[in-house]
């Protein structure tokens, strides 16, 4: 059920992933039919409703591509902070 890359992650990281998946499904899968129904009522036309949804996909994809430019930098930054925190914890445990 868990991906192999997260098998060695701490419980707080796994809890974060679980919360992320819950939020994604709550905001996406659960509410999306309601939003499409609302748009259909608003415009009175399913074609217009799905055009609005398609346009939102384009906006989301564009924002994702912009954010993807920073993924490697942010991943390295988190790894550096995690390593510094681990080193500090090891030093404190040795005292």
Q: Which 8-state DSSP code applies to residue 9?
A: S
pLDDT score of 7: 57
Mean pLDDT of 67-94: 79
pLDDT at residue 1, rounded to an integer: 47
**Residue 52 contacts by C-beta under 8 Å, 6 or more apart in sequence?**
39, 43
pTM of structure: 0.55
Mean pLDDT score of the chain: 82
Q: Do the beta carbons of residue 21 and residue 32 sit within 8 Å?
A: no
**Residue 11 above 80 pLDDT?**
no
Residue 8 pLDDT = 63
């Amino acid at each position: 059920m868990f991906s192999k890359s997260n098998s060695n992650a701490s419980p707080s990281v796994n809890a974060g992933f679980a919360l992320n998946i819950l939020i994604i499904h709550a905001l996406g899968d659960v509410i999306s039919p309601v939003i499409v129904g609302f748009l259909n009522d608003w415009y009175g036309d399913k074609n217009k409703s799905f055009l609005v949804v398609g346009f939102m996909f384009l906006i989301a994809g564009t924002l994702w591509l912009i954010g993807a430019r920073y993924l490697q930098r942010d991943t390295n930054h988190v790894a550096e902070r995690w390593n510094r925190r681990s080193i500090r914890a090891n030093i404190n445990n040795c005292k």
